[in-house]
Each structure stands twice: as structure tokens, then as C-alpha cells.
Chains A and B, each alone.
Chain A
Amino acid sequence: DAGITQSPRYKITETGRQVTLMCHQTWSHSYMFWYRQDLGHGLRLIYYSAAADITDKGEVPDGYVVSRSKTENFPLTLESATRSQTSVYFCASTLAGGPEQYFGPGTRLTVT
């Protein structure tokens, strides 16, 4: 769906560098989420946001920072990337009160 996009789609970075993954949705969904997907671990929630300027930690928040100054954008920053953060990252959004989640296409991040 063009309604939720992620950039970049692929990223290779070095250990210790800062990297920001972008997520943009055009539906004006209130809730947005960041997941990481690793083999054997399914989808693990990193951070989520209920609205602009409201964010909260998920299951695996360490090493990540988020912000949400506008409803449509929810960037995820790795302040000092580590090899363990090599993963596929999915952004998702949902209507207020609606638990069905709409996923972005994902960003494959490799930390060397």
C-alpha cells in the first residue's frame, strides 16, 4: 500500500555510526509502531506512538530513539549502531481504537 512508506529500503552502515530509518503514512493514523524482525523471533516491538509527541517503549527499545513531531512521520534512530541491530525493520500504523496494523515495506539494515 502506498499509504505507508519506509526509507531507505536497504542500508549498510558501520558499527558506531548513527542511522535514521524513516516512516511516513498518509492515512492520518493515530498509532504508529516500529518492529524488528529477526529469524526465529517474529516481530518484536521497539517503540510505539499513540499520537504526535507521545511515544512509549516496546519490548526491545535499548539502543533506539524515536520522535514524532508530526502525525504522519515516525523516524527511528540508532544512535550508535551495533552488529546485533542488523535486522529487517518494519513500521506499522493503525487507526485509533483499531488494532489491525498496516505495515510498511520494511528496511533491511546491515551493520558491519
Chain B
Amino acid sequence: GENVEQHPSTLSVQEGDSAVIKCTYSDSASNYFPWYKQELGKRPQLIIDIRSNVGEKKDQRIAVTLNKTAKHFSLHITETQPEDSAVYFCAASNGNAGKSTFGDGTTLTVKP
């Protein structure tokens, strides 16, 4: 089955700096790569996603890049703000039964 590895497990940045979280996947059939944000005590919520036919996608301060050859994808957050502090999960899906395999999460702390 699919295996998703996520790094780093914790990340601390100063407000205004950029943050990068990286994930690798094992199944070359995976074609959908979402990122979820989970604030403390809340449910995970989708913040951005990318499909395998696209190399990069941006949404304001958030961007995701995908390298299919290397089987890795990354989340980039620019101009970080304290409200970006949360746990971020990457996931990979091949569209099979809607299942996604999740990484173990990255705890991002943005210091004011």
C-alpha cells in the first residue's frame, strides 16, 4: 500500500518568515495530494491540494509543489502569521475508494 513520510515533525519560525514542509510518497499511482490544517482541538480541514497533472499551485500565501518523478511534494507558506500555527498533514490518494494515506503531521509554531 501507499506510504507517506512527512518532514519535519516540528517546525518553528519567526513571524514573517517562510515555512516549508515536505512529503514523499511510495505509490506511483497516487494522483491527488491534499494538505490539511488542524488547529488545536479542532478537526483537520483542507487548505490546498494538487493533482498529478500540475506541478505547482498557489493560493495567496500558500503554495504546493509536486515532483512526480521524485515522488515528493511540498507545502510552502510565505509571510507566516501566528494564526498559521497548527498541525499540517499531507496525504496521497490514487482515487481508490476515496482513500487517502496521511503523513504523521508537522507541528508549525509561528513566533510573534
Task: Please determine whether A101 and B89 come into contact, CB atoms closer than 8 angstroms.
Answer: no
Give the interface size bracket for B toward A. 20 to 34
Using an 8 Å CB-CB cutoff, how does the interface string of B70-112 with A read, 1 for contact, 0 for none?
0000000000000000000100010101111111110000000
Main secondary structure of the interface of B (DSSP, over half): mixed
Given A43-B102, A99-B32, A99-B34, check contact A56 B97 (CB 8 Å).
yes
Separation of A71 and B65 alpha carbons in the complex (Å)? 36
B95 contacts which chain A residues (CB < 8 A)? 97, 99
Given A100-B34, A100-B49, check contact A43 B97 (CB 8 Å).
no
A41 contacts which chain B residues (CB < 8 A)? 104
Separation of A44 and B45 alpha carbons in the complex (Å)? 16
Task: Please determine whether A103 and B97 come into contact, CB atoms closer than 8 angstroms.
Answer: no
Chain B nearest CB, measured from A36 CB (Å): 12
Contact pick for B98, options A58, A94, A105, CB 8 Å: A94
Chain B nearest CB, measured from A33 CB (Å): 8
B89 contacts which chain A residues (CB < 8 A)? 42-43
Separation of A31 and B97 alpha carbons in the complex (Å)? 7
Chain A nearest CB, measured from B44 CB (Å): 5
Given A99-B34, A104-B43, check contact A50 B97 (CB 8 Å).
yes
Separation of A97 and B31 alpha carbons in the complex (Å)? 12
Chain B nearest CB, measured from A110 CB (Å): 15
Indicate if B54 sits at the interface (CB-CB under 8 A): no
B20 contacts which chain A residues (CB < 8 A)? none
Indicate if A52 sits at the interface (CB-CB under 8 A): no
Chain B residues within 8 Å of A, Cβ to Cβ: 6, 9, 32, 34, 42-46, 49, 89, 93, 95, 97-105
Chain A residues within 8 Å of B, Cβ to Cβ: 30-31, 33, 40-45, 48, 50, 56, 58, 90, 94-101, 103-106
